Structure 1
Amino acid sequence: MSTKSLTVPENEMLAGILKNYIGELRVEIIHTETGTYKKALHAREKILLGILRKLESAAGEGKPGAPLGNKAS
């Protein structure tokens, strides 16, 4: 699997978009009454939070454009 690099501005923009969407998703979760749908929304939130952590980790390591592949912790 190949990984793509992001520039610092691209990383920051994508992180901002994700944060905004996650906030909206949380509101939707709160207002959802169907258990199955709420579970699916929580699963989506978990994936998006993982992506956001990767973006923030790449930015925090001072590696602009660091690949967003799997990293050993």
Structure 2
Amino acid sequence: MVERFFQDLTVKALQRGVFQRVKSLTQAIDEYLESQNKKPKPFIWTASVTEILEKVKRARQSLHMTPQK
């Protein structure tokens, strides 16, 4: 869920911005948070536990595969 939050922050508030100073970056983040807090929406899981665990299993298998020589 944290990853999703930062993805939304990046895409909706930061991605196309040019920030010359840290102050302008933090201001953009604060404005995004303020706008989101006016009408908060919960993050909702759409995948089942089984689907998530299967995805983790596939990812682990692909990480442990070694290239054939």
- TM-score per shorter chain, which class? 0.3 to 0.5
- Which structure has the higher relative contact order (CA within 8 Å, separation 6+)? 1
| Larger Rg over CA atoms | 2
